[in-house]
Chain A
Amino acid sequence: MYLRLQRDGDHLDVELTGEWRGANLPAIDAEIAAQSFAGARTFKVSIPESVTLDLAGAWRLREWLKAAEATGASVEFAGPPPGQLELIESTLAGKARPTPPSSSESTFEPVSALGRQVTRRVQGVKVALDFIGRACVAFARACTSWRRLRPASIARHLYETGITAIPIVSLIAFLITLIIAYIAAQQAREYGAEIFVVDIVTVGVLRELGVLLTAIIVAGRSGSAFAAEIGAMKLNEEVDALHAIGVEPHEVLIVPRVIGLTIAMPLLAVIADGIGLTGGALLCKWLLDMPLVLYLERVQDAISPTTFWVGIIKAPFFGLLIALSGTYRGLQVRDSSRELGRLTTVAVVQSIFLVIFANAMFAIAFWQLDI
Chain B
Amino acid sequence: MRDPLIEVRGLVNRFGRQIVHDGLDMTVYRGEVFGIVGGSGAGKSVLLRSILGLQRPQAGEVHMQGRDLTKLSVAQLKEIKATYGVTFQQGALFSSLTVLQNVQLPMLEHLRLTPRALDELAMLKIRLVGLTDEAARKYPAQLSGGMIKRAALARALALDPALLMLDEPTAGLDPISAAAFDALLMDLREQLGLTVIMITHDLDTIFRTCNRVGVIIDRKMTSDTLANITNNPHPWIQAYFHGERAVRFGQAEGAHGT
Q: Interface of A with B (CB < 8 Å)?
A: 21-23, 25-26, 29, 54-56, 59-60, 83-84, 86-88, 91-92, 95, 98-101, 235, 334-339
Task: Assess whether A55 is in contact with B124, with CB atoms less than 8 Å apart.
Answer: yes
Q: Is the CB of B111 within 8 A of A22?
A: yes
Residues of chain B within 8 A of A83, CB atoms compared: 190-192
Chain B residues 129-159 with CB under 8 Å of chain A are: 133, 136-137, 139-142, 157, 159
Q: Does B256 contact A (CB under 8 A)?
A: no
B-to-A contact residues, CB < 8 Å: 82, 94-96, 100, 107, 110-117, 119-121, 123-125, 127-128, 133, 136-137, 139-142, 157, 159-160, 187-188, 190-192
A100–B126 Cα distance when bound, in Å, is 12
Are A336's CB and B141's CB within 8 A? Answer: yes
In the A-B complex, the 7 residue pairs with the smallest Cβ-Cβ separation, listed nearest first, are A100-B119, A54-B160, A338-B96, A335-B141, A336-B95, A83-B191, A336-B96
* Chain A residues with CB below 8 A from B157, complex form: 55
Which secondary structure characterizes the binding site on chain B? Answer: helix
B107-A87 in contact (CB<8A) = no
Beyond A22-B107, A55-B125, A339-B96, list 19 extra A-B contacts (CB 8 Å): A22-B113, A22-B159, A23-B110, A25-B112, A25-B117, A26-B112, A54-B160, A59-B117, A59-B124, A83-B192, A84-B191, A92-B127, A99-B133, A100-B115, A235-B95, A335-B95, A336-B95, A336-B96, A338-B95
Whether B124 contacts A88 by the Cβ 8 Å rule is: yes
For B124, give its contact among A21, A98, A336, A339 (CB under 8 Å).
Answer: A98
Smallest distance from the beta carbon of B133 to chain A beta carbons, Å?
Answer: 7
Q: In the complex, what residue of chain B is closest to A342 when comparing beta carbons? A: B96
User: A26 to B118, alpha carbons, bound, how many Å?
Assistant: 12
CA distance A100 to B107 in the complex (A): 16
Q: Could you give 8 example pairs across A and B, Cβ below 8 Å?
A: A22-B121, A25-B112, A54-B192, A55-B125, A55-B160, A56-B121, A98-B133, A100-B120
User: A57's closest neighbor in chain B, by CB?
Assistant: B160
Question: Contact check: which of B119, B139, B192 meets A98 at CB < 8 Å?
Answer: B119
In the complex, which of the residues A25, A84, A338 contacts B111, with contact meaning CB atoms closer than 8 Å? A25
Report which of A56, A91, A335 forms a contact with B128, defined as CB distance below 8 A: A91
Contact of A29 among B114, B123, B137, B190 (CB under 8 A): B114
Given contacts A101-B133, A336-B95, contact A21 B120 (CB under 8 A): no
